[in-house]
Amino acid sequence: MSKEQLYDLAIIGGGAAGITAAIYAARYKLKTILITKEFGGVAMEAHNIENYPGFPQIAGIDLMKKFVDHLKKFEVDLVEDEVGRAEKNDNHFSLTTKKGKVYNSKTLIIAVGTQRRKLDLLGEEKFVNGKGISYCYTCDAPLSKNKTVAVVGGGDSAVQAALLLSKYATKIYLLLRGEKFKAEPIAIDHLLTKKNVEILYKTNVVEVSGEKFLKKIKLNSGKTLDIDGLFVEIGAVPSTFLAKQLGVAIDENSHVTVTPQMETNIPGVYAAGDIVPRFLKQLVVAASDGAIAATTAYNYLMKQSHTAKK
């Protein structure tokens, strides 16, 4: 392996944490590569963001475009691909992507975020990919114009989904598994003003049906709803498979265990963003994690370089 092929830092993940880490790394003059399946992360799905400093109100897709535009001002190698394998080789880490490319780096930041939870119902997979069930409301909301749809969930993403859908759909059923929302109060207040949104509490979907496309859902109450689309917004789980490949410690809630400096139990490996345990999972927190992780990686590399010269 030639010296030119070895990066100082590889970052996996293109959300707020990964992009911020790359910006900081570039400012530290580290030879950096960022690999991500999609730039922007889950923030791209936010209808309106009202709590990121400097932007009283901005769509998630617009805010993340600003993140990416900022990143592109620096010398960072950007790769749109998905890392399928991560391994430690001697004094560096090797990342193999789904496209068969291999990238090597002295240090690594894992900022891959989370994966969407599914309903785990029989036949659910039959209606994905444009056939009625969606896990990305910002992607598919415009397809709901003049239609009847349902949203499953009671957290921030479910409320944001219902708010955006209220601009397109004729009727929206918001199905809460519990007795109350787990979303921001201001978002709930907005939602309650929408006349085309009907909220059903203590409600679960127990069956999905249709021929080629989703047409009906059956609820635990026994009631059947005729709908044209179902948006599943019931949370997400950390994407830890790469961390596990490296032997990184995972806690009981499937988050990567880190120190306040974003260090994992593996020297040279750091984690940032929604993949680590946080009381508050927000863009501003993820960005902070990324900045800290990059700074810690820089300090680690400087220490390694100093030790090597002795």
Catalytic residues: 136, 139-140
Under 8 Å between Cβ of 41 and 64: yes
String of DSSP letters for the chain: --GGGEEEEEEE--SHHHHHHHHHHHHTT--EEEEESSTTGGGGG-S-B--BTTBSSB-HHHHHHHHHHHHTTS-EEEEES-EEEEEEETTEEEEEETTS-EEEEEEEEE---EEE-----TTGGGG-SSSSEES-HHHHGGGGTT-EEEEE--SHHHHHHHHHHTTT-SEEEEE-SSSS--S-HHHHHHHHT-TTEEEESS--EEEEEESSSEEEEEETTS-EEE-SEEEE---EEE--HHHHHHT--B-TTSPBP--TT-B-SSTTEEE-GGGS--SS--HHHHHHHHHHHHHHHHHHHHHHHHHHH-
String of DSSP letters for 17-84: HHHHHHHHHHHTT--EEEEESSTTGGGGG-S-B--BTTBSSB-HHHHHHHHHHHHTTS-EEEEES-EE
Within its chain, how far is the Cα of 267 from the centroid? 25
Beta bridge partners of 238: 114
Under 8 Å between Cβ of 93 and 269: yes
